Every structure is written in structure tokens, then in C-alpha cells.
Amino acid sequence: EPIIRFDKVNKWYGNDFHVLKDIDLNVAKGERIVICGPSGSGKSTLIRCINRLEEHQQGHLIVDGTELTDDIKAIDQVRKEVGMVFQQFNLFPHLTVLENLTLSPMWVGKMPKKEAEEKAMAQLERVRIANQAGKYPLQLSGGQQQRVAIARALCLTPKIMLFDEPTSALDPEMIKEVLDVMIELANQGITMICVTHEMGFAKAVADRVIFMDQGQIVEQNTPHEFFNNP
């Protein structure tokens, strides 16, 4: 049973812009997928449907056994299972690094403060940024901020992590520190879907590379096949 299943999923923006066309995609538990393709081909929209930041209009989308519909309970259920990291780090600038994790709306009030802080510190250690816990986001480099964003997503202990061009907003010298953290996560067996242009990362960790164009999946293969085909 796949952990994510797209079955003939279609989405339009407005009435006439057909952004996802008959998407069929099964993701196995623990699978690491990289999605690439030209700008505007629907990559971001596809992964945003998985945690219902966008909604599809046709077809079925099932995440960890729950079909995504308008049912708010189903949406909440799925959002507990799915962590997401964006191109822009989306940290709260007026909160410290630690507070960005402990005051995350997804889990605030769900456990005592001390327990939340311990959990948060453990995730900050996992991305090697625990020594910056008391700083404010803008006191950190872009690469450090993105690692905080990854730690925040991990606080939910998600089964699935989605990355939407996580290194595209970073200066070149900071890309590696973020990719290294992502490679470590990949090696820990979490299901991952990454929209990225970092083909070195794809080669290093992807089980499957998916190429999108104009709202369709036009090719999918192992990195080996994908990069060696003429």
C-alpha cells in the first residue's frame, strides 16, 4: 500500500488554467522522490496538494490511508503526517529560533512547555543548530534559517517531508549545509518528496526522479536511468 497515492488528479487555477493533468503517482513508504522540470510546470502545486495547501478538483489523493476531501478532520489528520519546507523559510522574525519551534501553531498547547522545548531542542540538534536556539532568525545566515525551518517541520515527527525548492533562495556557499541535512534525513528512512534543481542531490539520494512539463508527469526513472539516458 503506497503512503501517497494520486489517482487521476486534476487541478485548475480559476476556470481555465489546467495546472495538473491526470496525475497518477504512487509513493512507497520510505521512498525518496525528486521532482524537476521547467518553471511553471506544476511541481510546487503538486506537492502543495499533498498537505492541502492547494486543493485538487478531480481524482483521488490519498495520504497514509486518508483521502483528501473537504472534510476538515481528514485535512487535519494528513497535516499531522506531513512536514513542509519552503523556498522562503517562513520563520516568525519576532520569535527566537526555539520559540519558532515551540510556538508553532500545529502543536502549541498540545504538550507542557518544558516537553515542547526538549522536543524542539532535539530537532535543532538534529540539524546542528541547537547552539543558535536563543537567536532571532534574522541574526542567522540563510542556510541556518533553512535548517531551523527543517527542524520546525520535523517537530511533528512527520511520516512524510515535502521540500519545495529548499535551496533556491540561498547563496551558493550555503546550499551544501542544507543539502547535507536533507541527505541525512533521507538516510533515516523518512518518505521525502523534493522539488529541486540540485541534480547532485537527486543522484545521491533519490529512488526516483520525476520530470514534469505543462502539468503532466512526462518521465520518471531511477537517477541512474534518468541521467544516463541520451
- Using CB under 6 A as the binding rule, whether residue 102 contacts ligand ADP is answered as no
Among 4, 23, 34, 42, binds ligand ADP (CB under 6 A): 42
- Using CB under 6 A as the binding rule, whether residue 152 contacts ligand ADP is answered as no
Residue closer to ligand ADP (CB basis): 143 or 166: 166
Size of the site for ligand ADP (CB under 6 A): 12
Among 10, 77, 87, 104, binds ligand ADP (CB under 6 A): 87
Among 44, 102, 123, 145, binds ligand ADP (CB under 6 A): 44
Backbone phi and psi for residue 181, each to the nearest 5 degrees, phi listed first: -65, -40
**β-pair type (82-85, 160-164):** parallel
- Tell me which residue has cell 545521491: 204
Question: Which range in 3-11, 12-20, 67-75, 123-131 contacts ligand ADP by CB under 6 A?
Answer: 12-20
What is the Cα–Cα distance from 173 to 171, expressed in whole angstroms?
6
Among 13, 90, 92, 224, binds ligand ADP (CB under 6 A): 13
Distances (CA, A) of 162 to 53, 100, 118, 190: 12, 19, 24, 10
Residue 210 CB, nearest distance to ligand ADP (Å)?
A: 12
**β-pair type (66-67, 58-63):** antiparallel
Among 4, 19, 68, 116, binds ligand ADP (CB under 6 A): 19
- Using CB under 6 A as the binding rule, whether residue 143 contacts ligand ADP is answered as no
What is the Cα–Cα distance from 39 to 191, expressed in whole angstroms?
24
DSSP string of 209-223, one letter each residue: EEEEETTEEEEEE-H
The secondary structure of residue 183, as a DSSP letter, is: H
- Using CB under 6 A as the binding rule, whether residue 197 contacts ligand ADP is answered as no
Helices 142-154 and 172-187, axial angle in degrees (round to 10) = 20
Query: What share of residues in the chain are helix, strand, coil (percent, to 5)?
Result: 35, 25, 35
Site string for ligand ADP, 20-39 (x = CB under 6 A): -------------------x
Among 4, 6, 36, 45, binds ligand ADP (CB under 6 A): 45
Query: Which residues here bind ligand ADP, judged by CB under 6 A?
Result: 13, 17, 19, 39-45, 87, 165
